[in-house]
Structure 1
Amino acid sequence: MKKHDPIHANHRVQRDYPAKVKFCPLCGAAMESRMLMPENAERKVCTRCGFVLFPGPKLVAGCFVVDAGRVLLLRRGIEPAVGKWTFPGGYVDFGENAADAALRETREEVGMRVALGLLLGVFNDGPNTVVVYLATPGKEPPSLSDEATGVRYFAPDDIPWPDLAFPTTIDAITAWVASTRKPRQSA
């Protein structure tokens, strides 16, 4: 591979961060686990400059594109969970807000420009915190991409539960299905 050839991120390796960090991101020296005071927590600390690595979840944002009471799911074309179903979404870039990331990821993965609605919820699976917005489709129909080898709208009763990609996918779909089944209040 040449130095400037484009690559695809290996998302399995990305999940090793920050647990397997060995070198300081500031000066390149070795990191070692030390007890950090006053919080009494083990943290990776640079042996040269003293930088402390404070781990935090990666922020992910996505869209539940809903049309006629059905939600758009995509079949993942990349690892992790290749072949499993989820909603369009991905990592929020540094300096990007979650709403913009949700719109960008939906456009990149399924080729749709959507209109964001309300926040469906915030879900966590350990290394990732996932912000999920409800959205309405734009003019473009969903399309395939390297990241989406299949796209389909599912009614609440047709969700492919055994084939969902991530715990956060299950949690978000569970919340959406519950919201569709709330009893209507009479005036």
Structure 2
Amino acid sequence: MKKHDPIHANHRVQRDYPAKAKFCPLCGAAMESRLLMPENAARKVCTRCGFVLFPGPKLVAGCFVIDTERVLLIRRGIEPAVGKWTFPGGYVDFGENAADTALRETHEEVGMRVALGPLLGVFNDAAITVVVYLATPGKEPPSLTVEATEVRYFGPSDIPWHDLAFPTTTDAVTAWVALVRGSNTSS
């Protein structure tokens, strides 16, 4: 591989940050675990400049594109969880807000310009916090991409529960199914 060739991110490695960080992102010196006061918590601290690494989850945002009480799911074409089902979404870039990310990622992954609706919820696992919005489809039908090798709308009773990509996917789909079933019983 040449120095300027494009690469694909190894998302499995991304989950190792910050736990396995060894060097200071500011000066490159070694990091060591130290007790940080007044919070009395162990944090990685640079041995040269004193930079303290405050760990936090990576922020992801995505859309539940809803069409007649069916949600659009994509079969992942990339790792992690290649071949599993999830919704369009991805990492929030520095300086970008979650709503803009959800719209951008939906367009990148399935070629749809959607109308953002209300927040479905915020879902967490150890390294990721996922913000999920409800959305309505635009004019374009969903299309296939490298990231979405199959796209399909599922009703609440058709969800491929054993084939969902991530715990946060399961949590978000569970919240959506409860929302749909709750709205059907109150009508």
Using the size of structure 1 for normalisation, the TM-score is 0.98
Instruction: State the aligned residue count.
Output: 185
User: Which residue identity lines up with residue 54 of structure 1 in the other structure?
Assistant: F
Correspondences of 1:175-186 after superposition (within 5 Å): 175-182=175-182, 183-184=185-186
User: Which residue identity lines up with residue 35 of structure 1 in the other structure?
Assistant: L
SS at match of 1:44: strand
Q: Tell me, which stretches of 5 or more residues in structure 2 are unaligned?
A: none
User: Which residue identity lines up with residue 140 of structure 2 in the other structure?
Assistant: E
- Match of 1:55? 55
Percent same amino acid among aligned pairs?
Answer: 85
Runs of 4+ in 1 over 4 A off after TM superposition: none
Q: Distance in 2 between matches of 1:16 and 1:125?
A: 14
- RMSD of aligned C-alpha atoms? 0.6
C-alpha offsets along residues 4-24 of structure 1, whole Å, 9 cap, x if unaligned?
Answer: 111100001101000010100
- Match of 1:160? 160
Q: Tell me, which stretches of 5 or more residues in structure 1 are unaligned?
A: none
Q: Distance in 2 between matches of 1:78 and 1:33?
A: 34
Q: Please say if 1:71 is aligned against 2:71.
A: yes
- Match of 2:106? 106
| Structure 1 residue 184 displacement after superposition | 1.3
- Match of 1:23? 23
| Structure 1 residue 166 displacement after superposition | 0.4
C-alpha offsets along residues 67-91 of structure 1, whole Å, 9 cap, x if unaligned?
Answer: 0110000000111100000000000
C-alpha offsets along residues 104-142 of structure 1, whole Å, 9 cap, x if unaligned?
Answer: 000011110000000000000110000000000001110
Correspondences of 1:121-140 after superposition (within 5 Å): 121-140=121-140
SS at match of 1:101: helix
Q: Please say if 1:150 is aligned against 2:162.
A: no
Q: Please say if 1:94 is aligned against 2:101.
A: no
SS at match of 2:179: helix
C-alpha offsets along residues 141-170 of structure 1, whole Å, 9 cap, x if unaligned?
Answer: 101111111100000000000000000000
